């Protein structure tokens, strides 16, 4: 994204510095109404043009699924984040080679409730700092694109003023 969206109770920043001219690393902000924001972070297995093309496909698939589920009044609000990742996995699996997959992290931030609901699909676990403690955000499942019927879990965190959330790809470590 060219810039981070503004939220009332959350300061947001993001940067992508590819190791080569193009890469399979990806982050995104998906504004969903006045008080909700989707946060995505992923990394395609491999480097270069093929990884970048697959990541562009993953981005389009994610955005389509998020918009469709977010607009669906019948969608189960309590499982929407894990459902997004399950749909993404199924679709990536159906159009990629067996040796291609992505680590992926998706979260939904609610600015009114100050909650972060996330699902981690085999990605480097983001770090959540609060009250002098740190924890790794591991709830989720396996990488996307390997198994057609992978199941995913989600977890909701109640944020407090001063908390810090750091998500990254393997290039940072």
Each residue's pLDDT tens digit in the chain (173 positions)? 888 888 888 888 888 776 666 677 888 999 888 899 999 999 888 777 888 888 888 999 999 989 887 777 666 555 689 999 999 999 999 988 878 899 999 999 999 999 999 999 999 999 999 989 999 999 999 999 999 999 999 999 999 999 999 999 876 66
pTM (2 decimals)? 0.91
Which residues share a beta bridge with 25?
43
- At what angle are helices 48-71 and 80-95 packed, to 10 degrees? 140
d(CA 27, CA 61): 14
C-alpha angle 56/58/62, rounded to 5°? 120
Measured distance between the N- and C-terminal CA atoms of the chain, rounded to whole angstroms: 22
Indicate the DSSP class of residue 18. -
3 state DSSP class of 56: helix
Q: Say if residues 109 and 37 touch (Cβ distance below 8 Å).
A: yes
d(CA 91, CA 171): 26
């Amino acid at each position: 994204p060219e810039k981070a969206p503004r939220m009332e109770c959350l300061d947001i920043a993001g940067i992508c510095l590819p190791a080569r001219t193009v890469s399979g690393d990806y982050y995104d902000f998906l504004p969903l109404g006045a008080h909700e924001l989707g946060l995505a972070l992923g990394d395609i297995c491999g480097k270069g043009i093929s990884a970048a093309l697959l990541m562009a496909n993953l981005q389009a698939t994610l955005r389509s699924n998020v918009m469709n589920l977010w607009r669906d009044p019948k969608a189960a609000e309590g499982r929407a984040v894990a459902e997004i990742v399950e749909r993404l996995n199924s679709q990536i699996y159906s159009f990629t080679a067996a040796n291609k997959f992505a680590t992926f992290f998706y979260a939904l931030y609610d600015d009114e409730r100050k909650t972060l609901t996330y699902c981690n699909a085999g990605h480097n676990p983001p770090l959540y700092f609060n009250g002098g403690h740190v924890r790794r955000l591991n709830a989720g499942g396996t990488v996307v694109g390997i198994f057609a019927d992978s199941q995913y879990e989600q977890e909701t965190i109640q944020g407090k003023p001063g908390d810090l959330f750091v998500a990254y790809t393997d290039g940072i470590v």
